[in-house]
Each structure stands twice: as structure tokens, then as C-alpha cells.
């Protein structure tokens, strides 16, 4: 077996009579950027939530770094090196940008049953947090309340929080959703700098982002993966064109 960082086998999840995830076998190699595309309602979000641990699958297994994590709750998965961004921006709006990232650092710096020393003066938290902010180009905005950042900056902040947990795998749920052209261009550039350095699973509608960034693409339709391959292969696949791009095969 080659070194798969993440591997799902026969992963299934139903809601009532809806098969949201249907026996999905999905593999992510160490170091690659693997995009998951599919039409609306294809079950992408349900799928990513099972990987991150927010939803428990009905059947099937998830292995991460050679370990079965199927039943681990989300926080434990995060500590094993799985980080995610959300489709709808999920940050601490009432904290400063620096606090947001420092909290992510803190989550991976041992337990937090420390009651006395002010965390905001703790250099072991703020120094790495500032470094990550620098990486996503937000260092000048460190002291701004997250709620007051522009939409694109908030999404960058979310990436920063994910990076601050020093993950082995980044799960990115539509990172350029709702962005203007300029903002999404900046986000794609940011993700491009991470490419190769971090293993990434990218769930995205924006084909520009997908074809720029992805090494491989999996196509999810009605809860099933109908094709996996390089961007060129996917572009040429008649089944994909029929099901997804809405063209006649």
C-alpha cells in the first residue's frame, strides 16, 4: 500500500431515506492536493463532516495516518493533525485576529487547565500565532476584532487558525465561496504557497481554484464518487461531463 494519509472505506451516511454518502472509497496521498467537486446536494459537506468528526458515519471506516479514527470525536482528530475550514466562515468574531490564532496554538500546547497566568502575555502562544498570521499576510491586522475584518480576511484568518494547529492534513470546505474575484485570487495564491508543504483536501465549486491547485480530483455525485483522476483525466471523462458539467456524453 502506498502512503495514504487519509483513506475512507465504504463510508456511508443516510438521513431518513436520503443516501448522503454512499459507500465512498476515497484516498489522499501524503503531500497531494486533492479536490472534491460535485454539483449542489452531492453530499460534499456531509462527507467532509464525517472526515472531520462532526458526523458519525452509519457504516464504513476512516483511517488517518494509518490509524482508525472512525469513532474519534472532532477535537481528538484535530489533535491528531486534521484541521478544517468551514464553508460558512467560522471564527471567534468577538476576539482579535491574534487571539483567534493564539487559541488554535494553545489547543495544541498541552491541556489548558492553567488558571492564573494571562494567556495574552504568553509568548509561547503569541509568537507562533504572529508567525502564522504573517504567513497568511494578516500580521498588520493582528489586533483587529475578527468581526471587523473584511470577508476575505476572515477566510484567511480561518486558514491561519487551521495552520496554527500544525496539521498533517487541511480540510478546506469551499475556501473561496462568496468571494469577489480579487479576494478569491488572493486566497488561491495563499493556498498555492501551501501546496506541497501541506496535504490538502479541497472541496470547491470554483473550477478556477480546483484546476489551479489540485493534483488529483474526485467527483462526488449523489453521494458516490464517480471518478478520480488528474485534472486532465477528469476534464476528459465523459461520465463526469454528463453528470456534472451537464453536457451530453
Partner 1 sequence: MAFSPRTWILLALLLLLAAVPPVADYFGQPFYLDLLRRVMIFAIAAVSLNLILGYGGMVSFGHAAYLGIGAYAVGILAHYGINNGWLQWSLAIVASALVAAAIGSISARTSGIYFIMITLAFTQMLYYLGISLEEYGGDDGMQLKVRSQFSGLIDLNDASAFYYLVLAILAAFLYLSRRLVNSRFGLVLQAARSNEARTRAIGFSPYPYRLAAFIISGAMCGVAGALLVNHTAYLTPEFMNWTRSGELMFMVILGGIATTSGPLLGAAALLLLEDVLQGWSVLPKWLHEHWQLYLGVILVLVVLFARRGLASLLPGNEHHD
- Report the interface residues with partner 1, using CB under 8 A: 52, 54, 73-76, 78-79, 83-84, 86, 90-96, 99, 102-104, 106-108, 112-120, 122, 125, 145, 161-162, 164-165
**Nearer Cβ to partner 1 (104/225):** 104
**Nearer Cβ to partner 1 (54/137):** 54
The nearest distance, CB 174 to partner 1, in angstroms, is: 15
Q: Which H or E element spans position 208?
A: helix 207-213
The nearest distance, CB 49 to partner 1, in angstroms, is: 10
**Nearer Cβ to partner 1 (88/249):** 88
- DSSP for residue 139: G
The nearest distance, CB 37 to partner 1, in angstroms, is: 23
The nearest distance, CB 47 to partner 1, in angstroms, is: 16
**Nearer Cβ to partner 1 (39/81):** 81
| Rounded alpha-carbon distances, angstroms, from residue 35 to 17, 103, 147 | 28, 28, 29
Q: Which H or E element spans position 125?
A: helix 123-135
Whole-number Å distance between alpha carbons of 20 and 38: 13
171 φ, ψ (degrees, to nearest 5): -100, 115
Question: Which grid coordinates are listed for 202?
Answer: 479541497
Amino acid at each position: 500500500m502506498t502512503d495514504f494519509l487519509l483513506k475512507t472505506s465504504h463510508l456511508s451516511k443516510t438521513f431518513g431515506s436520503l443516501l448522503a454518502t454512499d459507500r465512498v472509497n476515497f484516498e489522499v496521498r501524503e503531500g497531494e492536493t486533492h479536490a472534491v467537486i460535485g454539483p449542489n446536494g452531492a453530499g460534499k459537506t456531509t462527507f467532509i463532516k464525517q472526515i472531520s468528526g462532526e458526523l458519525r458515519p452509519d457504516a464504513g471506516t476512516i483511517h488517518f495516518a494509518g490509524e482508525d479514527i472512525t469513532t474519534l470525536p472532532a477535537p481528538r482528530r484535530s489533535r491528531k493533525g486534521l484541521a478544517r475550514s468551514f464553508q460558512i466562515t467560522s471564527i471567534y468574531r468577538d476576539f482579535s485576529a491574534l487571539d483567534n490564532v493564539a487559541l488554535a496554538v494553545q489547543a495544541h500546547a498541552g491541556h489548558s487547565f492553567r488558571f492564573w497566568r494571562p494567556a495574552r502575555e504568553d509568548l509561547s502562544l503569541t509568537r507562533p500565532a504572529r508567525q502564522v498570521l504573517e504567513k497568511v499576510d494578516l500580521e498588520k491586522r493582528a489586533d483587529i476584532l475578527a468581526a471587523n475584518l473584511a470577508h476575505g480576511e476572515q477566510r484567511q484568518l480561518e486558514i491561519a487558525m487551521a495552520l496554527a494547529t500544525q496539521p498533517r492534513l487541511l480540510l478546506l470546505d469551499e475556501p473561496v465561496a462568496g468571494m469577489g474575484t480579487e479576494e478569491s485570487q488572493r486566497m488561491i495564491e495563499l493556498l498555492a504557497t501551501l501546496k506541497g508543504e501541506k496535504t490538502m483536501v479541497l472541496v470547491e465549486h470554483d473550477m478556477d481554484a480546483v484546476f489551479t491547485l489540485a493534483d488529483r480530483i474526485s467527483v462526488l455525485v449523489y453521494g458516490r464518487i464517480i471518478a478520480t483522476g488528474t485534472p486532465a483525466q477528469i476534464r476528459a471523462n465523459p461520465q463526469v461531463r454528463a453528470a456534472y458539467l451537464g453536457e451530453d456524453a
